[in-house]
Amino acid sequence: METRILGNTGMEVSRLGIGLAAIGFEETFDTIKTVEVVLKTALDQGITFFDTAECYFYSEEMVGQSISDRRSEFLLATKCGHPSGLQESGEYDFDWSIEGILLTLDRSLKRLKTDYVDLFQLHSCSVEVLEQGEVIEALTKARDAGKTR
């Protein structure tokens, strides 16, 4: 599998990565065993980038249960911003506070069965929110604590 450097991070990733929203939906992958086979096969084939989010239902749990024992072999990305996902109203419940972002990260780390993520992404964060500064402060705290790279 060909690899590339991810942006200006210095982190090497496979050209192909896997978005893991679908594994969080029980209708798509009905058992942890199925998810484990898919993700371990991907690793065996050289795929080293996995992307998930707290709002992808059970996705983070499935990743943690199935491949946390091979954590050194892949880069892991997750997201923050709307921890509960889409609400019945059709709106997202965004939380861009320092506390909310750090809480989201801690919950994600627990579910993913790891002590860090390689990439912690902002899920639909507006420029106006970024300009307030709390988001950057939270991300800096997370990085300084060794919870993100």
Active site residue 116: no
The whole-angstrom separation of Cα 50 and Cα 19 is 6
Residue pair 137/98 in contact by the 8 Å Cβ criterion: yes
Q: Where is 122: in which H helix or E strand? A: strand 119-122
Which of 56, 58, 92, 116 is flagged as catalytic? Answer: 56
The whole-angstrom separation of Cα 7 and Cα 85 is 27
* Residues designated catalytic: 56
